[in-house]
Structures are given as C-alpha cells and as structure tokens.
A and B are shown apart, each in its own frame.
Chain A
Amino acid sequence: MKNIIKIAWRNLMRYTRRTLLTSSMIAVGVALVIIFSGVGSSFKNEIIGVITNSNVGDIQVHKKGYVGSIDNLPLDRAIPEEDFKKIELLLKNNPEIKAYSERIRFGAMASNFAQTTNMRLTAVYPEKESKACPNLVKRIKDGDSSPDTFVKPGSVVIPQNIASGMNLKVGGDIVLVATNKDGSVNGMTFKISGISENIMGPQGKDGYIHMDDARSLLRIENGEIIEIAIKLNNFDRLNKVFMNLKYYLLQIKEEKSADPVFEIHTWEDLVPFSTIAKIITLLIMVVRIVLFFIVLISILNVMMMSVYERIGEIGTIASIGTSPSKILMLFLTEGLFLGFISAIGGNIIGVVILKVISAAGFTFKFGDARTEFMLNPQIPTAEIMFAVLFVVIISVLASLQPALKASRMEPVEALRHV
C-alpha cells in the first residue's frame, strides 16, 4: 500500500498545474461550505439565543389547545394550580432543567389618559423570569433592569414602540384595562418602571407586570397560570429533554376524555424565525450539493484524462504483471489523494477566513432594534470533519469509473498506445 501511495502521489505531482487547478477548485468549494456553515450557524445561533434567552425560553408548556389560539391570548385555557404543581415537581426533579418561569399572558388596553392602545402583557415573577430568560433584563434600556426587581407590584415595563407612540417615560403612569375570562373588565394604574427594546419573536413587543398584579387585574383568585417557560442547562440537548418531558407530560390525562391535559413545544414551534433557521440549514445543504458536483466533475475529469494519457503506461505495468486490483487501487488512491489534499486545503482556507470574520467583529441589527448582533462564527468542527469525509468519498466514487477502465484494459491493446 505504501508503494501504491508513493506512485499515486508522484503521478499527481507529474501534472502539477492540472492537479493544483483541480485541487484549488475543490478547495474553494470546501472553503465555501465551511464559511457558509460557520457564518450561517453563527447567525442562526445568535438569533435563536436572543429569542430563547430574551422572551420565549427553550421549551414552553401550555394547556392543551392554547398554542392553536395563541393570537387571542385566551385566558380560559389556563393551567390550574394543582396541575401546575404536578409540572413543577417534574421540572424540579429533572437535572436537565436550569430554570422555569410560570406566566400569565393577556391582552390589555393601555392608556396614558390622552391616548389608548392595545398591548400584550406577560405577568411574571421577576426573579424566576430572569433565570428562565436571562437576557430579558438586558432589553430594558431605561429604568430598573435588576433581574430580581425589574417588575415590582404596581409597576410595568412597557415596550419601546408603545413608549414612543404614546410618549411615555419611566416614572410616568399608565392605566391598564383588561377583560378577565368571565368577561368582566377591570383597570389598574401602573407606574412605568422600565422601557424594553423590541425584539423579534412572538413576545418581543410584550409589556411585563408582576404576577400578583395580573391576578388582581384579572381577578384570578387561585394559582392558575397560562404558560411555563423552561430554560435548559444545555441547549444542545433540547430535543432529548423535550422528548423526555413530553413523554411524562402526556401521561397526565383529562379524567373524562382521557386526552392529554397539556401541550409542550420547543421554541421552534412557537417562533417564526425557526422557518428562517430551517432555510439557513437548507442553504448549507444546497452549498454541500454544489460541492458534491464540483468534486465529482473535477475528479472524474482529472482521472479520466489521467487514464487516457497513461494508457501505454497502464499497458506496461499490466504486462509486467501488476494485477488488475492493484491498477484499480493505484487510480483510486490518486483520486482519493486529490480529494483529501483539496479538502484539507479548503478547510484551512475556510477556517482562516472564519477567524478573520470573527476578528473583524462584524455587527448587524434588525429594523429599529438597538441590539446589535455580532457575527462571531465558530469553527464548525463537525462540518470540517464532514467535508473531509464527504470529499474523500466522492473523490473515490468519481475515480471509480476511470480506475475500473484502467484495471480492465487488455495489456496488449494498451501497449499499442505507446
């Protein structure tokens, strides 16, 4: 094998310019995959991080049927206190769960005594919410942004768009009027304790009040809640933890109908950005497919040329007694080498460019959001390994036809080409 490798390597180096050109083309393709994967994943993870850490959480639990009518923020699909306690027990005993926060979400009319507008509100316990969504307080640009006290009883955090539209400032008063699930209307005056930056996501423009205030406003006398946001210790284990929680939650059934009481969703089910994330993944796949054809056509072309140019030489080594399998191996090794060195070269180029992008500290933001996202691509180790393996396999496959042709040549016919 050592000798086959030696001869294969020298044959590649025999046509240095052609080998370099082909190798460069494949390397550029590999580098593109690495860069696209690194940048795309960085962008995706950055946005997902903002969404999950700022308002949605990694997983949410609701009463069955709530998410289907989430646009109306229905209060009649609440999780009763006794059911919440069951879920709480489950979450507390699960080592994968870092934090959870129960919430009441509802729609209200907000008035500054001169103007009135609609507003979506999330009622939370601030210390629990800050643990489940640690970046929430970072969005509070004006006012109290302390994780444990960002909403106190009697105060409200209002979103940037409403503050601007109604000319509201921290310290000002606002009246919130809400309809409870029985249809009766109630209103309370709140002191604006903070103004939060709008971000993308279904809860990106919600205001926040304290849970106790929500219960007063909505006249909820028991401990029922609307949703539970869950934060995991390790986001990479999302699907596993989700499946595990789902399994246990779906065991809890309605007494009459025997249907599950709860529904559970990952952030992907709740946030429209998950579609963009899927498109990014799809685009990375498209770039991989392009790479597939670049490698396939390049290697096939080079190896076919190589076989046609060396027919006489194939005749010589065959007549000397080289077995067809060794001739096959010789050409397969050439193709494999070409693919391997190209993949390594492409990976090096890709990693260097990702490092440069990372060092350059490119930032971007969406719309009028003040939060800037930094493009900080990580080195996609799995993608690098995949690229090498992928290119090597395609190279061998592309070399197979020319190599088979070489190994099946009749020596006497091949020698006539000398």
Chain B
Amino acid sequence: MELVILENTKKDYISGEINVPALRGINLSINAGRFISFVGPSGSGKTTLLNLIGCLDKPTEGKVFVAGTEISRMNRKTSAKFRGDNIGFIFQNFNLIPVLTVYENVEYPLIMVQDVPLEKRKKRILDLLEKVGMISQKDKYPAQLSGGQKQRVAVARALVTDPKLVLADEPTANLDHDTAYKVIALMHNMKKEFNTTFIFATHDPKIVGEAEAIYTIEDGLITKMQENKQPGVN
C-alpha cells in the first residue's frame, strides 16, 4: 500500500527577486512500513522534500499525498491536526522541550495534540521509554541528558502517537559515530516493532546502508533509487 505519493512536485524559494528552485519535479511513491533514506549533499533538497511530506510546507506545484490524503493545500489548523495524527518528527537538534522532563516530553503529543486518557498514555509512554532504553531517565530534564539520550527520547516522542510515518531530518548529525549507529538501530527496531514507515534524510554514507531503499537527491531531483537487499544493524 502506498503511504507517500508525490506527483511532479516542485518547490521554489524566493530570495530577494531571485527564484531559487529547491525541488524541480519530484515523482515518488513510498509504501507503508518501509525504512527509507534520502541522501544527497547539502542544499540538494532533502530537507525541503521531508518538509513537504511532513505537511510542514506547501509545494509550489504538484501534489503530495500521505496516507491517502492530499496534504499540499491544507490550511494551518488542518495540517497541524494531520501531522499530530499521522506523522512523527525526529530533528537533527533533538528539539526536546527544555522545561519538560523526559516523561513529559514524550507525553506532550498525547495531551497537547491528541487527548489520550491518563492511564492509556501512561502505559504507552512507559512502554516506549522502556523500548528506547530511557525508562531510568524519565524524570530528568533534557539539559541533563547526552545527545544520544536526547535523540532516544525524540524517537519515543515521534512514536508515541502511533503515527503512520516518522520523518527524521539528519537525526545523527549531532551524534558521534557509535551513538549515531545506535540511534539508527533503534529507529530500525522501532520500525520493525510498530511497522511504522521511517524516512530519514542524511548525508552520512555510513548510516545510509541501514536503509531498505536509498533515494539520491541532487539539485532538486531524484537522480537514483537503490534498493538495499540487506539493510539493518547487527
């Protein structure tokens, strides 16, 4: 089943009086339950593509469908609801809310976006924190965690609403090599555990190999798609 479809999607940015094309006609179809990587050099359009799929930005031309819904023309309120219900995000800088504890950060989408009853959300949060190995740190604040720990919490937060799709933009860019591998392994395990589709953008060739399919993006176009027969982290 196709979870993400892009039809001739273009995105231009205006810089002063200059029109800068970021994506120049992307056609893409990603099935549910896959572990996908977008690779390419800086400025190639990876983040723009993730933003369009994540309903954070609108294409200049073309259509974007996620989970059967066209998201390219949604207003701010509808797109916020759509993201809250269907998409999880993992950021390069972790983006945890500094005034909330680990537990509360993971809890945030369940109370501020969805309205999940206390008992149900408590079980869900503790279960996820257990799976990402952060249960013992649940009462700590982000400032008290290492980069790897923060990203584990971010993974838990992205998955807590049981989204159909998780988007990760350079999730390992601020992590050392070992930690980066562990985070990618965690994401991979979570994908298997919850059958959630993961799409991550990276320019780190060492972790690209963990993806089931690798899309190479150059100058706003997908120039190569490569299936990986033996993905995963041992």
Q: What string of 1s and 0s marks CB contacts (under 8 Å) between A403-418 and chain B?
A: 0000010111001001
Closest to A316 in B: B95
Q: With A320-B108, A320-B113, A412-B56 known to touch, is A10 a contact of B99 (CB < 8 Å)?
A: yes
Q: Is B80's beta carbon under 8 Å from chain A?
A: yes
Question: For this complex, into which size category does the number of interface residues on chain B fall?
Answer: 20 to 34
B49 CB, min distance to chain A CBs, angstroms: 12
A312 & B95 in contact (Cβ 8 Å cutoff) = yes
Bound Cα distance from A316 to B85, whole angstroms: 15
A418 CB, min distance to chain B CBs, angstroms: 5
B56 & A11 in contact (Cβ 8 Å cutoff) = no
Bound Cα distance from A307 to B77, whole angstroms: 20
A326 & B76 in contact (Cβ 8 Å cutoff) = no
Q: What string of 1s and 0s marks CB contacts (under 8 Å) between A297-341 and chain B?
A: 000000000000000110111111111111000000000000000
Bound Cα distance from A4 to B111, whole angstroms: 10
A322 & B99 in contact (Cβ 8 Å cutoff) = no
B83 & A320 in contact (Cβ 8 Å cutoff) = yes
A-B contact count (CB 8 A): 76
Closest to B157 in A: A320
A321 & B85 in contact (Cβ 8 Å cutoff) = yes
B113 & A321 in contact (Cβ 8 Å cutoff) = yes
Q: Which of B56, B81, B111, B161 has the most CB of A within 10 A?
A: B56
Q: Which of B85, B87, B93, B99 meets A7, CB within 8 Å?
A: B99
List of A residues within 8 angstroms of B80 by Cβ: 318, 321-324
Q: Which of A10, A11, A13, A316 meets B91, CB within 8 Å?
A: A316
Q: Is B45's beta carbon under 8 Å from chain A?
A: no
B81 & A317 in contact (Cβ 8 Å cutoff) = no
List of A residues within 8 angstroms of B112 by Cβ: 3-4, 317, 320, 322, 326
* Chain B residues numbered 84-113 whose CB sits less than 8 Å from any CB in chain A: 84-85, 87, 89, 91-93, 95, 97-100, 108-109, 111-113
Interface size on A, residues (CB 8 A): 27
Q: Is B162's beta carbon under 8 Å from chain A?
A: no
Q: Which of B85, B87, B97, B161 meets A317, CB within 8 Å?
A: B97
A324 & B97 in contact (Cβ 8 Å cutoff) = no
Q: Is B57's beta carbon under 8 Å from chain A?
A: yes
List of A residues within 8 angstroms of B91 by Cβ: 316, 415, 418
B111 & A3 in contact (Cβ 8 Å cutoff) = yes
A418 & B93 in contact (Cβ 8 Å cutoff) = yes
List of B residues within 8 angstroms of A316 by Cβ: 89, 91, 95, 97
Bound Cα distance from A321 to B71, whole angstroms: 14
List of A residues within 8 angstroms of B85 by Cβ: 321
B84 & A324 in contact (Cβ 8 Å cutoff) = no
Q: Which of A7, A316, A326, A418 has the most CB of B within 10 A?
A: A316
Q: Is B54's beta carbon under 8 Å from chain A?
A: yes
Q: Is A14's beta carbon under 8 Å from chain B?
A: yes
List of B residues within 8 angstroms of A418 by Cβ: 91-93, 95
B45 CB, min distance to chain A CBs, angstroms: 14
B96 CB, min distance to chain A CBs, angstroms: 8
Closest to A12 in B: B99
Bound Cα distance from A408 to B82, whole angstroms: 17
Q: Is B195's beta carbon under 8 Å from chain A?
A: no
A404 CB, min distance to chain B CBs, angstroms: 13
A405 CB, min distance to chain B CBs, angstroms: 14
List of A residues within 8 angstroms of B93 by Cβ: 312, 418
B54 & A14 in contact (Cβ 8 Å cutoff) = no
A321 & B97 in contact (Cβ 8 Å cutoff) = no
A412 & B51 in contact (Cβ 8 Å cutoff) = yes
B51 & A324 in contact (Cβ 8 Å cutoff) = no
B84 & A320 in contact (Cβ 8 Å cutoff) = yes
Q: Which of A11, A13, A321 meets B83, CB within 8 Å?
A: A321
A14 & B99 in contact (Cβ 8 Å cutoff) = yes
B99 & A11 in contact (Cβ 8 Å cutoff) = yes
Q: What string of 1s and 0s marks CB contacts (under 8 Å) between B154-168 and chain A?
A: 000100010000000
Bound Cα distance from A312 to B95, whole angstroms: 8
B99 & A321 in contact (Cβ 8 Å cutoff) = no
Q: With A10-B99, A321-B80, A323-B80 known to touch, is A411 a contact of B56 (CB < 8 Å)?
A: yes
B188 CB, min distance to chain A CBs, angstroms: 22
A78 CB, min distance to chain B CBs, angstroms: 78
A333 CB, min distance to chain B CBs, angstroms: 13
A321 & B100 in contact (Cβ 8 Å cutoff) = no
Closest to A318 in B: B80
List of B residues within 8 angstroms of A323 by Cβ: 77, 80-81, 113
Closest to A315 in B: B95
Closest to B167 in A: A319
A273 CB, min distance to chain B CBs, angstroms: 55
Bound Cα distance from A322 to B54, whole angstroms: 14
A352 CB, min distance to chain B CBs, angstroms: 32
Q: Which of A10, A313, A322, A412 meets B113, CB within 8 Å?
A: A322
User: Footprint of A on B, CB under 8 Å?
Assistant: 51, 54, 56-57, 76-77, 80-85, 87, 89, 91-93, 95, 97-100, 108-109, 111-113, 157, 161
User: Footprint of B on A, CB under 8 Å?
Assistant: 3-4, 7, 10-11, 13-14, 312-313, 315-326, 408, 410-412, 415, 418
Instruction: Report 29 cross-chain contacts, Cβ distance below 8 Å, ordered by A residue.
Output: A3-B111, A4-B112, A10-B100, A312-B93, A313-B97, A316-B91, A316-B95, A319-B54, A319-B56, A319-B83, A319-B89, A320-B84, A320-B108, A320-B109, A320-B157, A321-B82, A321-B113, A321-B161, A322-B80, A323-B80, A324-B76, A324-B80, A326-B112, A408-B76, A410-B76, A411-B56, A412-B51, A415-B56, A418-B92
Shortest Cβ-Cβ A-B pairs, 10 listed:
A321-B84, A10-B99, A321-B113, A316-B95, A412-B56, A321-B83, A412-B57, A418-B93, A3-B111, A323-B80
